[in-house]
Each structure stands twice: as C-alpha cells, then as structure tokens.
A and B are shown apart, each in its own frame.
Chain A
Amino acid sequence: MSWISRIWRIGRIVEPAPHAPEPSVEPPTGVAGSLQLRHVDAGSCNGCELELTGAFSPVYDAERFGARLVASPRHADGLVATGVVTHNMAQPLLNTFHAVPEPRVVIAVGDCACNGGVFTKGYGVVGPVGDVVPVDVEVPGCPPTPQQIIAALRAVTGR
C-alpha cells in the first residue's frame, strides 16, 4: 500500500487558483460546484474549439472547478455554444437546447457566438446564438483564452 500512502503524503501539486469570481447566474441545478455541459459547434471556425479543448486539458484543467463536458444533452445542465449560427445548425441547436433538462444555462463562447463577429453578414448565417436560444453567459474574445473561459465557467459553478 506504499503508493497510496505516497499519494496521501504528496497531496495535490497545482498552481494555486486565483480567487473565485463573483457568481454570474444562479447555479442551474441548485447545486453549487458542479456543471455538466454539452458543447454545440453552431458554425465555428474551430478557433474557439481549440481554446475550449485547452481549457479542459490537464494544463488549465477546468474540471477541478466542477465543469465537465458530457456526451449528450440528456446528461447536461447547460450548453456551451461556439461560432455564429449557420442555417444548417439553427434547428439542431434548438433541438439540443430543448433536450437539456430544465433548469438550464446557455454559455456563448467567442465573439461570433456573442454578436456574430466577422461572419455577421455571411450568406449562410442566421445570427448570433442569442437569436436562436436565450443566452445566460457570454465569453467575448476571438478566440477567448482558456483563462477567460475558465473564469466564465467558475462564475457559473461558483468554485
């Protein structure tokens, strides 16, 4: 059992996290410190996806603040939407939104998701995420850094 005692002795070695930001919304499930998220790419250039992957990678580790990406909206407390909403993805985004159990939270990540960004006038574009589903939290940036994403997530999880 030496390895267990060694784990116990060493403990966790991480950079100390900055202070938790002020909560931006009520915890959607009523349970603070836990947030299961379903990610929808509504028409992104994949820049935000890279940063989102970085935020959930071991380097930034968003999961230690209680946020997790899950495989189905049925498992989720909320949506993370990236990119400007295209015609083909408008209905799937709405379907996914309705598939998340209530109460739910929608987090728009990136300038395109918040206000259309550089693709606002594109021929295949419906509009920002807010035009299709109600958005609770916006994370600006093109793309936002992992620190910004984590800060926004912590404001929801409350950790």
Chain B
Amino acid sequence: MTAALHDAPTVPVLGEDTHAKRPSGVVVALSGGLTAALGAVGVALGLAVIFGAPRHLRIGWLLPLVGVRFDLDPLGGFFMAATGAVSIAVGIYAAGYAQRERWAGFPMIMLPLFVAGMLAVPAAGSVTTFLLAWELMAAASLALVLSEHRRVAVRSAGVFYAVMTQLGFAAILLALVVLSAAAGGDAFATIAAHVGGIAPGTRTAVFVLTLMGFGSKAGLLPLHAWLPRAHPEAPSPVSALMSAAMVNMGIYGIIRIDLQLLGPGPHSWGLTLMIFGAVSAVFGVLQASVATDLKRLLAYSTTENMGLITLALGAAALLSSSGAPKVAAIAMTAALLHLLSHAAFKTLGFLAAGSVLAATGLRDLNKLGGLARRMPGTTVMFAISALGASGLPLGAGFVSEWLLLQSLIHSPHENNTLLALTMPLSVGAVALTTGLGIAAMVKAFGVGFLARPRSPAAEGAREAPASMLTGMALAAAACVVFALAPALLGPTLRRVLAVLPAVGGQAAGPALGTYLRLPGVSGSMSPGLIAAALVTAVLLTLGLARWGRRHRPAAAVVPLWACGADSLSSRMQYTATSFAEPLQRVFDNVLKPDTNLEVIHFAESRYLVEKITYRTLLADPIEERFYTPVVRAVTTWAQWVRRAHPGSVHLYLAYGALGLLVVLLVAR
C-alpha cells in the first residue's frame, strides 16, 4: 500500500538563482550595522524620554506650509524603544542572512530606511509628520516585501499588501484631516487642547475610520488578509521587523489617536475594540493551529496576539469609562507588557524560521523535522519563542496574559449588565486563544524541529552562522527577562501609564516586583519563584536519578520499538496536517477546509488497498467570502472604465480639453 500526501503548496528552494553575486561583506555589515545602530538610537532616545523630560523638535523648512514636528512623550518613547530593540536584533541577524541568501543591494538600502520610518511614527507630533512617517514606513516595507520579486507568490503578496496598506492609509488620512480641521490645528497638542469642542458625530467618524486604518496595520479581522500573505513571502528579517515592530504601530495609532487624543469615549468604543480584538485573537489562533507553513503560522499568531492586545485596550477603555480605573490600569499594563513580549518572541520566532529557511529552503512543516540535532542553536531559540507564544509559565507571554485574565476576572460587574456580559465572554475568548495557541506552538516546534527529518533538504540542514545566532540570542535574552523578571519593566510601564488618563492612567498600576501584586483586587503571582521552584525540582530529580543509578546494572542498548516493524521511518511520525486534523474537524464550520480522500483498490480484490490520496487545502474563509466578491467587482468596474482608454492620443487630448472646460465653468 502506498499513500501519497498532497498538501499545502510547497515553497520553491531559495537561492536557486545561483547566478546571484555574493554581496560584499562591507556593504552587508554597513546595512546591518546601520539598522542596529538606528535601533540603538531608538532605544536610547525612548528610554531617555520615558525617564526624562519630553523632547520637541521642529524643522520648519522640511515640509512646505506646516513643517515637520516631532514631540516625544513617554508613550511615543515606549513604542520607539520597542521598535529600536527589535531593530538591533534584526540588524545583527540581517548581516549574516544577507550574506547567506545573496541579497541584492536594494533591500539592504531599504532595511535601515524602514527602521527609520518606524522610529519616526511614534515620535511624530503633528498630523502631517505622522502621515509622512507612516507612508515612509509603508512604502519601505512594501519594497522589502517585494525583494524576491522573481517569484509569483511574492508579487501576488506584494499587490495584496500594497492595496491594503494604501487603503488603510487613506482611511487614516481622511480621519486625521477631519480631526485636525475640526480641532483647528495640525499639531497633536493643539488637537488635544480643542478636542472637547468637537461634535460627537465627528469624533465617532474619526474613531471608526482610524480603527479601520490602524486595525488593518495591526492585522485585526477582517482586515488581516495581507498579513498571512506578506509575512511568509518577505525575507525573514523583514518578516520579523514587520511582525514584531510594524504591526505595533497600528496599536500605537489606536492608543494615541483613539484613546489619548479623542478619549475618553463612550462605552461603545471600548466594546468595539474588545469585539474586534476577541474575534481576531480566536480566528488568528485557529488559523495558526491548522497552518502547515511555518511562517504563515507565525503570521496568524501575530493576528492572534494583536487581537489580545486590542482586547486588553478595549477592556481598559470600557473599565475606565465604567468607573473602575484600578482594574483598567491592570488591563492597560497587560496590553503594554504583551506588546513588548510579543515583539520579543515574534522577532525570535521569525528569525529562527529564517534560519530554517536559509538552511533547508523549506517552510512546510510537513517536510521539516529532525532539526534539533542538526541546528541545536536555532532549535533552542525557536523553543524559547514557542514557549513565549504559548503563554505558559516561564514563557514571555505568560505574565501579560495572566494580568489580562486577572483584569477581566476582577472587573466590578455588580449593577453593570454590560461588564457582567462582556467580561466573562472575554475570559472565555482569551482562554480558548491560549489553549489553541499551545496546540499551534507544540505543532510548530514538535513537528518542525524534533524527531526525524521528513525530506533530504531537512536532513542536510546546517547551523546558522554566528551573526544570525547572535541576533537571535539578543531576542531570546529579552524573552527570558520578560518571563522571569517583569519587575525590570515596572518603572517604564508606570510612566507610560501616567500619560494615559483615558484608560486608568490616574490609578496605580500593578506592582511588578518579585511578586506581582494587583492593587485593589486579590491576586498575586511570582514568575521568578515559579521558575526557581521548577529549576530546583528538575535538579533534585536529576540528582536523585544519578544517585539511584549507582546501584543498578548497566543499561542495555536495544533497538527502538517500531510496533513490531523492523525499523522506524519518518513516515510513521506525526505531520503538521495530521496533528491539526482533530482541530480541523472540530472547527469544520469555521475553517471550511477543502479536503479530498481517494482510496484506490486493487482490481483483484476491493479488500486490498493499492493507493490512498489525501489532499487538503485550507484557505482563509474570510478572505474567500469577503475579499473575492470585492476584487471581482473592482475588476469588472476597471474593465468597464478601460473602454475609455483605447490608446488614441487625440481622444486623450480631447479629455484634457474637456476637463479644463469643466474646471473653467465650475470656477467661474
């Protein structure tokens, strides 16, 4: 009997373009070094602003009429430092990656530019500067996504990303122009001073438009579709930057514009954020748990984590407007902490996936495996990242998810139907998300790195070079710090929280010491002591086992048990598809998988099976249901408009003359 497993489309081996020249070491080091240096400047400036006085910078000549204006406050400094930290790790990693993957010059120029754009966004102090930095970030990231443009999948992902990011930008542009027109000023400070006089209808319109724009950047449902396309197809350092730093800018926009400048808003704003966050988290993690492409899995995990952060933001806004600022401060701390830990473990995850991709040319988990022996360093790094993403103790995501759950559980819902309804539902959503997240990460790590290799490419994998390992080690160190000693972040988070009065900023946040203590509610936890207890238990068990071994006979070496067969083969292992099959079956109605099982019998007897063919295709159901009709309508409309463009110069001249005539008539 033979069984052929036709699965998700595989990725062509990278580096097949063997004619590409190896880039010179100086250029590579310059690009990576500049990226890392920009990141270091971002971290230094961000921390200086958080712990010092706000800084202001005006460059009048750079833009006509309004000039460029940077105002850094603790909130902007926080996002700047987070982006900078990601850039340091990615910059060091990219130096080795570019050499190994034979990057052309163009992406190496764009990488520092992209980082500069991302650092400028949280520093912007006026609408014009903000939009300029935002567009620089979007354009640079688009260019980087397209750096392997010879592959069709990359071009398709690029078009998707370009359209969605520009539509998002248009929404933000419209919202901010309306806002600054209503407030009578371009600078954020002016808007904040005059926000009280803006009509509620205008404020709601601005909220809805910015939520759409920033939500699409953060990868929230249903505007997430670019994320699982662009992140896998971009080079891995770029995926790390986009997934760990750029999506944070969407969250920054929501906090800055919707919660700080416009807020405090009505209950419905917080509720909207919570709904979008919860749906994104559950849907993202569900798609991640059935994904077979390693980078696609990580991209969906980004949607999940951004959903959790948005849920926490919404909870903070709702609790604050319901008169529970202390619990709101816990939720807001959870959001900020989760943002940081997500940045750390997702950087690490994408960088480790990039090492695997560079070593094997594979992203398909069904073809990987056996990397623990061949790439021990990368395997340890990915394990740290996966532990962080699964939200278990000793992982980077644990403390923030614990804080989020505490804030949801301890919300005072006496005499408040809204809180009594939303908070338990949110607890359910977060719990489901965390549970499925563990399944997704166990699959990614267990199937991708452990057991035996499933393909010759995985069998021939070699460890990543030192600079790539160094970049990953930096991110891993950040993960460990967030997991074991969140106390180090306590002062930073307190100062950021202080500038956010709309979301519980006036109350004292949770005390992040050796013990995490929550003011006003009963609940405390100590990640450091949990880790110490675990390490002691492991050492004690190992010591006892070693002590007991002295009295036992020498161990016998026997072949592995292969269920009676002669030897084990990699075909006997779990694959990513088979591991996720039960989940896929349970969530059949949501995932809508397109599966096909074909059994071919021998002609002599239908009791004997000759061949089994199993094919499964998991597309994004939201993309299929919402995007396809829109794309089709736009295409039809474009075909119709095309008739006006027959290619005749005379006709075009006539259009010009007609247009001029209309303008003259109108402006008469």
Interface residues of A (CB under 8 A from B): 72-74, 91-93, 95-96, 98-99, 102
For the residues of A in contact with B, the DSSP-based class is helix
- Set of chain B residues within 8 Å of A92, measured between Cβ atoms: 564-565
A50 smallest CB distance to B (angstroms)? 22
B529 smallest CB distance to A (angstroms)? 36
- Are A99 and B566 closer than 8 Å at their CB atoms? no
- Are A95 and B564 closer than 8 Å at their CB atoms? yes
How far apart are the CA atoms of A92 and B562 in the complex, in Å? 9
- Are B558 and A95 closer than 8 Å at their CB atoms? no
How far apart are the CA atoms of A92 and B559 in the complex, in Å? 13
Complex partner residue of A74 from B556, B561, B566, CB under 8 angstroms: B561
- 7 intermolecular pairs with C-beta atoms under 8 Å apart: A73-B561, A91-B566, A92-B564, A93-B564, A95-B562, A95-B564, A95-B566
How far apart are the CA atoms of A95 and B564 in the complex, in Å? 6
Complex partner residue of A96 from B556, B564, B566, CB under 8 angstroms: B564
Complex partner residue of B561 from A72, A91, A93, A102, CB under 8 angstroms: A72
For the residues of B in contact with A, the DSSP-based class is loop
* Number of residues on chain B facing chain A (CB within 8 A): 8
How far apart are the CA atoms of A102 and B566 in the complex, in Å? 20
- Are B558 and A98 closer than 8 Å at their CB atoms? yes
- Are A99 and B565 closer than 8 Å at their CB atoms? no
B27 smallest CB distance to A (angstroms)? 57
Provide the B478-504 mask, 1 if CB < 8 A to any CB of A, else 0: 000000000000000000000000000
- Set of chain A residues within 8 Å of B556, measured between Cβ atoms: 102
- Set of chain B residues within 8 Å of A74, measured between Cβ atoms: 561
How far apart are the CA atoms of A74 and B556 in the complex, in Å? 13
B607 smallest CB distance to A (angstroms)? 15
Least CB separation from A73: chain B residue:
B561
User: Which are the 9 A-B pairs with shortest beta-carbon distances?
Assistant: A92-B564, A99-B561, A95-B564, A96-B564, A74-B561, A73-B561, A91-B566, A98-B558, A72-B561
Provide the B65-90 mask, 1 if CB < 8 A to any CB of A, else 0: 00000000000000000000000000
Least CB separation from A93: chain B residue:
B564
- Set of chain B residues within 8 Å of A72, measured between Cβ atoms: 561
Least CB separation from A94: chain B residue:
B564
- Set of chain A residues within 8 Å of B558, measured between Cβ atoms: 98-99
Q: Which of B560-577 contact A (CB under 8 A)?
A: 561-562, 564-566
- Set of chain A residues within 8 Å of B561, measured between Cβ atoms: 72-74, 99
A73 smallest CB distance to B (angstroms)? 7
Least CB separation from A40: chain B residue:
B564
How far apart are the CA atoms of A96 and B561 in the complex, in Å? 8
Least CB separation from B559: chain A residue:
A98
How far apart are the CA atoms of A91 and B563 in the complex, in Å? 11
B118 smallest CB distance to A (angstroms)? 54
B481 smallest CB distance to A (angstroms)? 41
B564 smallest CB distance to A (angstroms)? 3
How far apart are the CA atoms of A113 and B566 in the complex, in Å? 23
